[in-house]
């Protein structure tokens, strides 16, 4: 941080709060938080953490900014949407403008079993800001196995929900700078939801979403994160908390202790980490399918030249967009692609094979 803006001035109002103080602010500066998903909830949480002075953020997101995001995704603007910037990189640029002392590591990637350890191992805390339960169960498997705390958050329509997950850990695994005593473990995600929801699941595309619900979920999530990062885990809520802001309904489900019969934290079976039955994922808010099984380097300029005779092509160092109505293919350097204009996996695979290769 510049000498012109000393820490005591930038964070003076937060330091005055007894729950933070000077020591808490110093702990925040040393902390590292990973946020999985930098859409609506993730962007809001990243902004709050950066303004609070959390020293290092890893932002993981597979998606890019579109005009429909701007109603609720607070870190992005019209220029980001016009350029189709990856959300993780766009978030990094905006955070740098209001707090250049925060180190932001953008990861333009899909969180999968093959890269989860590399992406999440350095973090003290994981924040979930995803749009699907497949990724949440993957985070839960990893966090329980590695005894790493994480906070679940969800927002859809006018509904917001959060839950703290504090896995059982031994004294020897204590993170430097954190309390030397292990926290009492909470239930994990699989304790509360042993299986993913069955049948049709509402998304932003079908149910819409209010920015107020997004910001409530993010605010509660970050508030709980600040307790942990300032070495006060015993103050963290031990329930699954939900609010419906339109109907004014509020509910809490006890999550104070692990279920001894839980497959994940009780039996320590990590099927999602093993990649069992991992599907293609329909993205929140768009008629799209992601193709993510290839993981092969792509020369984007060469691919742009190859695709130019077949439709409109735009590209930069981070992605390529190929428009062939009614479909748009967004291709990333690792070979991953988002196929817009369909929710049919077979159609998406066919388009990928036809234009990108198999």
Is 204 tagged catalytic?
yes
Helix intervals (H) in the chain: 7-10, 12-16, 21-30, 40-52, 78-83, 87-98, 116-120, 133-146, 189-192, 204-207, 211-229, 300-307, 345-355
Residues 127, 60 contacting (CB under 8 angstroms): no
CA gap 135, 281 in Å, rounded = 10
CA gap 350, 345 in Å, rounded = 9
Residues 293, 337 contacting (CB under 8 angstroms): no
Q: Which of 174, 188, 191, 204 is catalytic?
A: 204
CA gap 320, 39 in Å, rounded = 20
CA gap 293, 36 in Å, rounded = 19
CA gap 183, 179 in Å, rounded = 8
CA 122, 127, 129, 132 torsion-angle sign: positive
The sheet with strand 150-156 has its strands ordered as 103-108, 56-61, 32-36, 125-128, 150-156, 159-165, 239-244, 249-254
Residues 348, 280 contacting (CB under 8 angstroms): yes
Burial of residue 187 (number of CB atoms within 10 Å: 0-12, 13-18, 19+): buried
Q: Which residues participate in catalysis according to the annotation?
A: 204
């Amino acid at each position: 941080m510049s000498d012109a803006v000393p820490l005591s001035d930038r964070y003076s109002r937060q330091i005055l709060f007894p729950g933070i103080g000077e020591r808490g602010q110093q702990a925040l500066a040393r902390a590292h938080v990973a946020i999985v998903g930098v859409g609506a909830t993730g962007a809001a949480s990243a902004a709050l953490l950066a303004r609070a002075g959390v020293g290092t953020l890893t932002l993981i997101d597979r998606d890019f900014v579109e005009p429909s995001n701007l109603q609720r995704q607070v870190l992005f603007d019209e220029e980001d949407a016009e350029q189709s910037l990856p959300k993780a990189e766009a978030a990094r640029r905006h955070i740098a403008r209001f707090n250049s002392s925060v180190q932001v590591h953008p990861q333009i990637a899909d969180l999968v079993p093959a890269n989860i350890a590399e992406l999440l191992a350095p973090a003290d805390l994981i924040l979930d800001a995803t749009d699907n339960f497949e990724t949440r169960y993957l985070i839960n498997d990893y966090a329980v196995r590695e005894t790493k705390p994480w906070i679940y958050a969800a927002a859809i329509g006018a509904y917001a929900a959060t839950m703290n997950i504090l896995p059982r850990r031994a004294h020897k695994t204590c993170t430097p700078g954190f309390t030397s005593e292990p926290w009492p473990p909470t239930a994990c995600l699989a304790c509360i939801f042993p299986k993913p929801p069955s049948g049709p699941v509402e998304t932003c595309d079908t149910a819409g979403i209010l920015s107020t619900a997004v910001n409530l979920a993010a605010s509660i999530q970050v508030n709980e994160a600040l307790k942990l990062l300032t070495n006060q885990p015993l103050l963290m809520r031990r329930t699954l908390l939900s609010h419906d802001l339109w109907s004014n309904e509020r509910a809490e489900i006890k999550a104070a202790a692990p279920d001894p019969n839980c497959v994940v934290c009780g039996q320590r079976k990590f099927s999602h980490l093993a990649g069992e039955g991992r599907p293609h994922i329909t993205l929140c808010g768009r008629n799209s399918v992601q193709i993510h099984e290839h993981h092969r380097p792509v020369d984007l300029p060469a691919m742009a030249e190859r695709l130019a005779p077949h439709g409109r092509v735009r590209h930069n160092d981070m992605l390529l967009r190929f428009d062939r109505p009614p479909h748009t293919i967004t291709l990333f350097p690792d070979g991953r692609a988002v196929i817009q204009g369909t929710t049919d996996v077979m159609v998406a695979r066919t388009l990928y094979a036809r234009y990108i290769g198999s």
